[in-house]
Structure formats: C-alpha cells, structure tokens
A = this chain, B = another copy of it.
C-alpha cells in the first residue's frame, strides 16, 4: 500500500565515537528527518512509501535523495531547487553528559517551498495513507501552508491521515503550535504523540491523554509514547494505543542506547504499519514499541531493523529482550 510522508530532510553531522563537537576532526553524515525516518522504516519493511519534500539542486541535495532511495523510499515527488539543505549537528552523550544537538535548519529549500509547487494529484494517486508531523508546520508559514494543502488534498481524495504531534519548543511557541496543530489534527484519523508534550501542549488530564486527544480532535486512533531518562545512554520506554475506545499498553523496555535519535519516528512507523495491516491493538502497540526499541540500538535516524527482527521482538520470541 502506498504511504505518503511530507517534511524536511536534513543532513545530520555527528562526531565519531564519543568525541565532542569541540574535539571533532570530522563528522559521520546521516540524512534524516521525522517524516523521512517514517518513510525509510516503512519502505524497509516492504511498503510503498513515498517522501515529499524539496532539496537544493546540488550534490548535497542529491546525497539526501540517494540516502532515502537506498532504503527503497520513492523519491520521485521530491522537488529540486532552493537555497540549502537543513543541517543539524548531534553529539552523542555518555553517562551524565547529555546528547548535544545544534540545529542549523533555517531557510531550507523545503521550508521556503510553496503549496503550488507540488503536484498533489500525482502525490496522492493511489495512496492509502498520508503522514506528517508537527515539525513541518513549525518550519514557518510556507511549510505550514504546504502541510495544510497536503492535508486538504489527501482528505479530498479519501486518503487516511496520520499526524505525529512532535512539538518542538525551539521551533515555535506553545500558543501558536496549539492553534496550528489543533487545526491540522482535525484532518487526522491517527494521532501520535509523546504523553508529556501532548499533556502540556493541549492541557490534557494525566492518564486520560489518549481519550481526550481522540475526542477533542476526532482521531479514531491515538498512540502515545512514554520515555523516562536514566542517563545519556539509558532510557525506559513504553507505548500506548487507544483505538475503538480501548487502550492497549506495550511492554516496557529498559534500554542501553546506541543512538537516541528517531525512536519516536520508529514508533510512528510501527503504528502505521500495524494500521495498514490491520493488527489487533495489543499486537499493534507491541510492534510499534519493538520498532522503537530496536531503533535505539542502531546508528542513524531511521529504524532499519528488518520486519522479521521487529516481529520477533514484538512477539517476545527471543529469550532476552523482555522485562530484563
């Protein structure tokens, strides 16, 4: 089934090993972004996942496209032009030293693109699902307009819509986010969110986040991620899926992490995969959380664990991996 994701793809620069930015003599290069990561995971699991964006017409822009194609993502709707590819620097923490992220994404080709540049007919032809995150409208008025245009185009063509709230306080204020995301979430059939962010952004009641998101925005399915931080390399995570008025909660994973980035995107990809394949709620949330857990053991932004690996962990077939 064809899934469309829309957003920005960035160059990520990470010093090798445990080197700090101020020590680094070089960087490993990854290309990713919240929506691109979802597309990579789904394409890697065999789905027909397309990523819609705009990158500059030079070799660095092409490298971003190639990085997606490598995993099977359909990149034909990516426009070329504009000024630059967004960049973010990411330094891996250890023990009490936290991860350190420096964003340098302003004025990207995608953020400067306009709704009318995209051929929505082609983009949504044959699509079953459209996915975006709250990062995209946060990139500026143009990107918000592109997001809304995509939502409308999807809705008109009967394509189901998924939104991962993904509130980033560095990109916009709570009030503006609340207003814009509130408007966009009304298009969404599936709402994915981090419990803390969702509660604080929308003023939800603790323990009732999923129900309230569902009723406030009319999303049939709400998926929530929970994360507790021990230190830079150790986190505890679990997930929750609310659908058909019932709630399913996944196992809890205490993780030793290789790369913290993209854990939520892997969860979102798992939720969408489960949705597309009609998984029952408990199976669905276990699949999504297993995808998220495995992502943290992999370098780079996207969950490139195979379908077999995710399924095996989700179904607890391995001796280790559960409740250790």
Contacts and interface: CB of A to CB of B under 8 A. Distances in A.
A23 B91 CA distance: 20
A255 B230 CA distance: 12
A282 interface: no
A3 interface: no
A70 B67 CA distance: 6
Contacts of A313: 96
A89 B27 CA distance: 13
Given A29-B26, A258-B18, A318 B69 contact: no
A28 B29 contact: no
Contacts of A72: 66, 69
Given A17-B299, A22-B304, A309-B97, A233 B258 contact: no
B297 A94 contact: yes
B70 A66 contact: yes
A180 to B, nearest CB: 23
A106 interface: yes
B28 A13 contact: no
A298 B97 contact: yes
A280 to B, nearest CB: 22
Interface residues on A, range: 35 or more
A95 B21 contact: no
A95 B257 contact: yes
Contacts of A22: 59, 62-63, 66, 304
A294 B20 CA distance: 12
B27 A298 contact: no
A106 B83 contact: yes
Given A95-B258, A97-B305, 11 more contacts: A18-B258, A21-B60, A21-B62, A22-B62, A22-B63, A23-B304, A58-B102, A67-B70, A69-B71, A93-B297, A232-B297
Interface of A: 13, 16-29, 58-60, 62-63, 66-67, 69-72, 83-85, 87, 89, 91, 93-98, 100, 102, 104, 106-107, 229-233, 253, 255-258, 290, 293-294, 296-300, 304-306, 309, 313, 318-321, 324
18 contacts: A25-B28, A26-B26, A58-B102, A59-B102, A66-B71, A66-B72, A84-B106, A87-B87, A94-B256, A94-B297, A95-B297, A96-B290, A96-B318, A97-B294, A106-B107, A231-B256, A231-B324, A233-B256
